[in-house]
Every structure is written in structure tokens, then in C-alpha cells.
């Protein structure tokens, strides 16, 4: 009878360890999913900002082309020294 109790304790302990490990695994998966969502939202914000910058750049290039085609001198922007 002593061996039966020991074997039953080992089996129950192993099952408890498996259940605990699965719980930890689920919590880690949820944490990673939240991190992934935060990264995705940051990427979307950067993407929107890049679209605005590109649109502004195209607008400025168009203005420069129009100005140069009218015969007016185009002001050159000096590059800052490093």
C-alpha cells in the first residue's frame, strides 16, 4: 500500500506541474500579444507621419518646379554645417 501512495503522489505532482506550466505559457502568450499590438500601433503612427512628410515634400517640389518654370530665381537653401 505504501508504493501506491507514492506513485499516486508522483502522478498528481506531475499533473499539477503540467497545469501550472500551461498557465504560465498562456500568461506569456497574452503578454507577447499585447507587446505585438503596441508595436503595431507604433508602426502605424510612424507610417502615417511618413505619409504626411512625403506629401509635404511633393508639395514643396511642385512649388519649386512652378517657380523655376515662371522664370523667377529659386532660393537655394544652405545646408547646415556639421
The pLDDT tens digits for 31-51 are 999 999 999 999 999 999 999
The per-residue pLDDT string of the chain (82 residues; one tens digit each, 9 = 90 and over) reads 689 999 999 999 999 999 999 999 999 999 999 999 999 999 999 999 999 999 999 999 998 888 877 766 656 667 667 5
Measured between alpha carbons, how far is 54 from 61 in angstroms, rounded to an integer?
Answer: 10
Q: What is the DSSP letter of 76?
A: P
Please name the residue ranges forming H helices in 70-81.
Answer: none
Helices (H) and strands (E) in the chain, counts: 1, 0
The pTM assigned to this predicted structure is: 0.58
Amino acid at each position: 500500500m505504501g508504493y501506491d501512495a507514492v506513485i499516486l503522489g508522483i502522478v498528481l505532482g506531475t499533473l499539477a506541474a503540467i497545469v501550472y506550466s500551461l498557465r504560465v505559457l498562456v500568461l506569456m502568450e497574452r503578454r507577447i500579444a499585447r507587446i505585438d499590438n503596441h508595436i503595431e500601433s507604433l508602426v502605424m503612427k510612424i507610417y502615417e507621419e511618413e505619409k504626411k512628410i512625403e506629401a509635404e515634400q511633393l508639395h514643396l517640389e511642385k512649388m519649386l518646379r512652378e517657380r523655376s518654370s515662371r522664370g523667377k530665381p529659386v532660393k537655394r537653401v544652405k545646408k547646415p554645417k556639421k
